[in-house]
Structure 1
């Protein structure tokens, strides 16, 4: 009898707690009292920063408390942005790639410290030590010593496998595991390794193992797929004359695991709910607690004086990178976050563990710093911090960065000796060249000017001095002559292209 009475008390308590939980969840949806003020701020600041469209989602626990679209999807059509409008989330994709790997780590099919060649037998790096020791964790923490190699995928028709194979020719400029160097192609390799370990493509794995259980039914991993959606945002840029216009979609499917996911704030709210609840969503564990902690734990220090630190993370004392996430000390609070950028879009996903809250910002304007302005404003609002004038701060930052870039170009141009000419007639520079990392390239003579063709790009050359030409200042291409006075090679962006005879 006593056991039965105890059981009834426990049962009643459980029912009461469940009811309270449901009540709390219901209240959470309507208890974001700052919503009207936030909406007014977004509408006003978007006009000031010439942003065509944006969407914002805020989540507490698993419940979205704020989902709103602002402005237009496309300035040409004027169609409104909604919480279901799809945007390219850029490098926010990296956290999905890390999560995919985490699921396979939980299943014993991958190891954070497993050698990359366990999953991609033909994977190779230029440095023998790095090549022998490189692990999945190294790929996910940007610490291989290899600098950025975005020219391999950006605007090219190379496949993911072809892009990864070129890494063997990429010379490191830092010690293995010695420095943080943001590296998109290593994430392409990590995603490819996920596919190999799972026996399917990275795209299929993310769709079936992440999107489907979270109910992210509108999200996809392809620039082609998103443009078939009736509710997708168009990418925009601001022209030099200040006008904002739509541009064509940049297809980066060949770098998919590094940045090709398209999603909405409604779908991303579900992703944030999974992160805030330690890998559990809707009562189902998708990722182990240990793997969630690994992804959210600092793995590599990011120097605050770096370009990433200066542009994205002001007012921070410490900055590091986990597995697919930055970890930032922000005004005495920890933020776990990742920004994303690709032509015409910018995005931001932020987790604030101490208040069990996260948010997402999606914008259809590339370049600029409005994403940071809005992102930090929301952080201050949620953490009840004294407001900072982030708009003024980032205006000054943009002005300073533009001034520094202008000065860099001016200093470079001062080195020019104007009264010089090429050693040989221009026709003698015309020919086929090759570099192991970049692949084949050609120099052609058209209408009295040299043109540089590499990957799928055509870059007109302007004479600078002697045998040096510019694609744009200070990007120089310099030809070298052999002992017999014939053009033997040229150097561009630190790469030597040898002439093929």
Structure 2
């Protein structure tokens, strides 16, 4: 079996990172991709040499040696016939409400079916035209859009972001001046994983977030990999600025309309307006699935805000395998598109000496399988209720798309892995649902708060009088925070001034209170730790959940 490529996201920002930890596990073609070439199914021998008339040597063109296909058509047919059973067993086992799966082989859609329902408790069935939120599968779509601009010579991969968007800034002046579109779209700007994500959870818009990520600390530029939604977004926004178009309009004009992707959009409002949409579902601790959340990813649209039907994503798959051409029409320059498939960064060290290295390109995971064939893929995930995966074996002219309306528990990836398993081995040889489900569970456990605020000390120190903590506190990154007392209880309010969020504060111990975190990255209770001055009034409060990179201190005005 091909080895599972190293995850393309680091620790779980929270679900932007969840697929990343799959990197390095030995088992699934989906997260593994490798370098794109004009003829990915062929490999070259070393160039031969012959003597010229002067006795010197001249290089001959390298002969091309075809690589035998890994699969026969009978293998693919067998795997295709097994797919419905694979999906139905995964749904029965996990309870995921709805799934759409499609396979492209030799430029033909050979499978496209919907399973389950768009919303738990309602009759609407999932079909190939049902629209799903794609989460981070938005990234390879975005890099394809930028590749279109590169092919049209409107931008270059190595143009600096600032040359097209003068407002672009990071915390280091050198990085601000030199960070390129390529740097930002391959996660090597130095921005740490999750930079800006907590602002998005609070409801801040793209303009606010991109204008404040210059406060985020940076790791070494071009020497470290961190999966950053808003770094990626900044790169895409810079490319769009070169056309004087908004990202959402640009996507429609240069990709969705030419490729006939009729349902595809980077606007959350378009997703909500489609009656045939898959509502997102969160699984609760009692294994109950409910469509209780709305996930608005407009702020990070290029990185996570696309939505589309299975049928449209299969057109996108054919475009990738067709090297930028679809139904005989050239949509994206082949060389510009191929650049998105080339390794740019190593997400992390191999998990063991025997493990293969996998890479990140421009919006793609890139790796090689056991036979040396390259794989392209990407997963998408919203903890609030979406999990998707798109995977390719370009040398086999094969791709599979899996869209689900349930939170990420490994099902999308497991279906792709099972399909390939049957094609290669005649049957499913690994419990992919169980194996990947365990991996996702481990990643969630790693994201648990360092302090368990559900377990108060047996004899907590008393709080001061509540008026000691009330007042207004300033923070240059998150904006103002206001602590108020109502009927003997404290609460705090923060976020955009036109739509703030109020959090109830519960006494924990001494001058520390707890509050419930919100949004995509929520992980339970967090702490609000007040510091009191000599006059008995709080001078500052640190919100440990928002202090991951040292930006969570609010100082009394």
TM-score normalized with structure 1 length? 0.85
1:347 to 388, 392, 417: 388
* 295-304 or 266-275, which deviates more: 295-304
Whether the 8 Å CA contact 2:181–2:236 is kept in 1: the answer is no
SS across alignment from 1:79: coil
CA distance in 2, matches of 1:298, 1:32: 31
Cross-structure match for 1:243:
288
Q: Could you give the per-residue CA deviations for residues 222-273 of structure 1, whole angstroms, max 9, x where no partner exists?
A: 2211222231111111222222122243222122111111111111111011
2:377 to 337, 340, 364: 337
2:102 to 36, 49, 57: 57
* 113-122 or 478-487, which deviates more: 478-487
CA distance in 1, matches of 2:243, 2:117: 39
Whether the 8 Å CA contact 2:136–2:381 is kept in 1: the answer is yes
Cross-structure match for 1:3:
none
* 87-96 or 366-375, which deviates more: 366-375
SS across alignment from 1:198: coil
Q: Could you give the per-residue CA deviations for residues 149-190 of structure 1, whole angstroms, max 9, x where no partner exists?
A: 20122350x332222111122222x21222111111122222
Cross-structure match for 1:480:
531
Residue 445 of structure 1, CA deviation: 2.0
**Aligned pairs (5 A) from 1:71-470:** 71-147=116-192, 148=194, 149-156=196-203, 158-172=204-218, 174-303=219-348, 317-332=356-371, 333-342=373-382, 343-384=384-425, 387-398=429-440, 400-401=442-443, 418-422=459-463, 424-455=464-495, 456-470=500-514
CA distance in 1, matches of 2:235, 2:147: 11
Structure-2 change in CA distance of 1:48 and 1:216 (3 Å): same
SS across alignment from 1:301: coil
Residue 39 of structure 1, CA deviation: 0.7
* 31-40 or 93-102, which deviates more: 31-40
Residue 463 of structure 1, CA deviation: 2.5
SS across alignment from 2:356: strand
Structure-2 change in CA distance of 1:240 and 1:489 (3 Å): same
CA distance in 2, matches of 1:372, 1:480: 46
TM-score normalized with structure 2 length? 0.77
CA distance in 2, matches of 1:291, 1:280: 12
Structure-2 change in CA distance of 1:401 and 1:281 (3 Å): closer
* 433-442 or 85-94, which deviates more: 433-442
CA distance in 1, matches of 2:153, 2:106: 29
SS across alignment from 2:258: helix
Cross-structure match for 1:471:
515
Residue 416 of structure 1, CA deviation: 5.3
RMSD of the TM alignment (CA)? Answer: 2.8
Residue 146 of structure 1, CA deviation: 1.6
Structure-2 change in CA distance of 1:344 and 1:481 (3 Å): same
Whether the 8 Å CA contact 1:480–1:490 is kept in 2: the answer is yes
Instruction: Count residues in correspondence.
Output: 464
Any gaps of 5 or more consecutive residues in structure 2?
1-71, 517-523
Structure with the higher helix share, 1 or 2: 1
Q: Could you give the per-residue CA deviations for residues 439-467 of structure 1, whole angstroms, max 9, x where no partner exists?
A: 22222223333223221332222333232
CA distance in 2, matches of 1:39, 1:70: 9
Residue 90 of structure 1, CA deviation: 0.7
Residue 44 of structure 1, CA deviation: 1.6
Structure-2 change in CA distance of 1:372 and 1:458 (3 Å): farther
CA distance in 1, matches of 2:349, 2:504: 37
Structure with the bigger RCO (C-alpha within 8 Å, sep 6+) is: 2
Whether the 8 Å CA contact 1:480–1:488 is kept in 2: the answer is yes
Any gaps of 5 or more consecutive residues in structure 1?
1-26
